[in-house]
Amino acid sequence: MDQSAMTIFFAILFLMLGAMVGTVHFALIAKDADLLVHGGSALMAIALRIARMLLTAGVLISAALQGLPTLLAATIGFLMARQLVLRRVQVKA
């Protein structure tokens, strides 16, 4: 495969990866807020925050190392997931 085909392949791959990680990221924010509001374990809340940040940072750093198109694709996927999770949370409330 030539360079442009690989760039497109990685952009699509990181778009999907960004969407998956974004979904997990924002779902964990909702879970973290639920733990804090309803008096859950503080240790669990801290663990969720650390796991969420490490996962998100790992994917975005990996995308950045591949180049600007993949970083942009991962970010778009991440933000699309945000909208999806926000809609789902609003429906439950």
Q: Residue 93's pLDDT band (boundaries 50, 70, 90)?
A: low
What long-range pairs does 2-7 form, CB within 8 A, spacing at least 24? 7/67, 7/69, 7/70
**Residue 93 DSSP class:** -
Q: Could you report the per-residue pLDDT of 13-71, keeping only the tens digit for each?
A: 999 999 999 999 999 998 888 888 888 888 988 999 999 999 999 999 999 999 999 99
Measured between its terminal Cα atoms, the distance across the chain in Å is 48
Report the C-alpha gap between 26 and 68 in whole angstroms.
24
Query: pTM score, two decimals?
Result: 0.85
What distance in Å separates the CA atoms of residue 10 and residue 69, rounded to the nearest whole number? Answer: 8
Cα separation of 51 and 33, whole Å? 15
